[in-house]
Amino acid sequence: MASTKQSTWVHKPSNLTLMWILISVPLVTWDNGYVFLRPHSMPGGSVHRPVWVPYALYGTVDYMYGWPAYDRNDGFPNAQAVLNVVESALLLWYLWIVYKYGSPSDGQGRGAPKPEKLGWLGKGRVVRGRMAGVAPLVGHASAVMTFSKTALYCKCRCFDLMFGRLLGRMWLSLVWLCPAQVEEGKARRPRSSEPVEHLCL
């Protein structure tokens, strides 16, 4: 009688992937905090400094994070932030599975260069059994959310460009980290007489 070999699920994420998740979740949480705490987190708000100072500049480039979207009660930023919460929860669940049920491995982690090239980041953790099947499913769901939100945001920007709403600021979106490119006074709240642009149709 031939023996039957029982297969076992194995999931081996690289330390590079895990490090990316550990960095991205706090950044997304920082972004969500800004959105959910508006207008207090915006320029002139009670909690704007020192945590959300960079958004004073970014809000002059991407009006979804600035006063125009807030003044017209645009729900897109908050809707996106809610999805970010779900995405972050999935990522944290994924990390919990990997660190709870996994163990360190000196071999090459999936999706990373060889340890000889990247050192510790090229290694990973190994999850075996049932949870090795659950972890990729949770991670994939989070990745699909990330891609979908990014695609939606880019499509909004494409339609903005199509309707001539971003032509004057398009180059600023690439260099918004350079304060010299944007006048400091533009971070103020617009006057009621100033036109407010609708960025996502």
Q: Tens of pLDDT along 113-144?
A: 676 777 777 788 889 999 999 999 999 999 99
Evaluate if residue 11 carries a pLDDT over 60.
yes
Q: Domain extents for the chain? A: 10-182
Predicted TM-score (pTM) above 0.85: no
- The DSSP code sequence of the chain is -PPPPPP--EE-BBHHHHHHHHHHHHHHHHHHHHHHTTTTTSTTSTT-TTTTTHHHHHTTT-GGGSHHHHHTT--HHHHHHHHHHHHHHHHHHHHHHHHHHEEEESSPPBTS--HHHHGGGG-EEEEESHHHHHHHHHHHHHHHHHHHHHHHHHHHHHHHHHTTSSTTTGGGGGSTT-GGGS-GGGGSPPPTTS-------
Q: Residues 146-154: what's their mean pLDDT?
A: 85
